[in-house]
Structure 1
Amino acid sequence: MSMYSMEDVARFAEGDMEVGERLKFEEALRGDEGLRSALSRYYDIHSSLKMQLTEDEDDRKLRQTLSNAGNVHFKKEAKLIQMQRYLTWISAVAAVFLVLLIWAPWRNNLYEEYAETEMIAMVERSGGDDDQMAKAVKAFNKEDFSEARAALEPIYKKDPANAMVQYYYAITLVETDDAETARGVLEELYAGTSVYKYDAAFYIALSFLKEENKERARYWLQKIPEDAVNYAKSRELLNKL
Structure 2
Amino acid sequence: MNNFEKIEAYLEGWMTQEERAAFEAELQTNEALRKDYEDWLYTERVLQKQLSADEKTQELKNILTPLTRKYFKVERKPQGKVVSFKKYIIAAATAAAILIIFLSIPGGIDNYQVPIMPQAVVRGAEDLSNEGAQLFNKGEYEKALPLLKQQAEHNPEDATIQYFYAIALIKTAQYEIALPVLERLSEGVSAYKEDAAFFTALAAYKLQRNDTALKYAQQVSEHSPYYKKAQKIIRKLN
TM-score by length of 1: 0.51
Q: Aligned pair 1:119/2:120, yes or no?
A: no
Amino acid at match of 1:107: I
Q: Does 1:129 align with 2:131?
A: no
Answer yes or no: is 1:185 the counterpart of 2:181: yes
Is 1:206 aligned to residue 202 of structure 2? yes
1:189-221 Cα deviation digits (max 9, x unpaired): 122211111121011123345568887544322
1:167 partnered with 2:189: no
CA contact (8 A) 1:120 1:137 kept: yes
**Cα distance change, pair 120–111 in 1 and its aligned pair in 2 (3 A):** farther
Q: How does 1:1-241 map to 2 (within 5 A)?
A: 24-25=46-47, 27-28=49-50, 30-31=52-53, 106-108=104-106, 110-125=108-123, 128-208=124-204, 217-225=213-221, 229-230=223-224, 233-240=225-232, 241=235
Cα pair distance change 1:217/1:238, threshold 3 Å: same
The one-letter code of the counterpart of 1:121 is Q
Instruction: Return structure 1 stretches of 4+ with deviation > 6 angstroms.
Output: 211-215
- Taking structure 1 as reference, are residues 179 and 115 closer, same or farther at Cα in structure 2, changes over 3 Å only? farther
TM-score, with normalisation over the residues of structure 2? 0.52
Count of residues in Structure 1 that have an aligned counterpart in Structure 2: 153
What is the match of residue 98 of structure 2?
none
3-state SS of the aligned residue for 1:224?
coil
Structure 1 pair 201–144 and aligned structure 2 pair: CA distance change class (3 A): same
Structure 1 residue 138: deviation in Å? 0.5
Query: SS where residue 142 of structure 2 aligns?
Result: helix
Q: Is the 8 A contact 2:185 2:196 kept in 1?
A: yes
112-121 vs 166-175, greater mean Cα deviation: 112-121
User: In the alignment, residue 49 of structure 2 is paired with which amino acid?
Assistant: E
Q: For residue 28 of structure 1, report the CA deviation from its aligned partner.
A: 2.7
Does the 8 Å contact 1:221/1:234 carry over to 2? no
Rg larger in structure = 1
Residue 184 of structure 2 aligns to which amino acid in structure 1?
E
Segments of structure 2 that go 5 or more residues without pairing to the other structure are 1-41, 64-101
For structure 1, the 5+ residue unaligned runs are 1-19, 44-103
Sort the Cα spacing of 1:212 and 1:105 in 2 relative to 1 into closer, same or farther, 3 A. farther
Q: 1:30 to 1:206 in 2, by over 3 A?
A: farther
Q: Using the TM superposition, give the Cα deviation of residue 36 of structure 1 relative to its aligned residue in structure 2, in angstroms.
A: 7.7
Q: Percent identity?
A: 29
Summarize the Cα distance change of 1:123–1:216 in structure 2 as closer, same or farther, 3 Å threshold: closer
Q: Which amino acid aligns with 2:114?
A: E
2:121 and 2:161 in contact (8 A); partners too:
no
Q: Structure 1 residues 188 and 26 mapped into 2: Cα distance closer, same or farther (>3 Å)?
A: closer
Contact 1:115 1:206 in 2 (8 A): no
One-letter identity of the residue aligned with 1:28: Q
Distance 2:212 2:160 in 1: 24
- Residues 111 and 209 in structure 1, CA contact (< 8 A), matched pair in contact too: no
C-alpha distance in 2 between matches for 1:178 and 1:23: 26
CA shift, 1:143, in A, is: 0.5
Superposed displacement of residue 108, structure 1: 4.8
After superposition, the Cα gap between the structure-2 partners of 1:26 and 1:160, relative to the gap in structure 1 and judged at 3 Å, is: closer
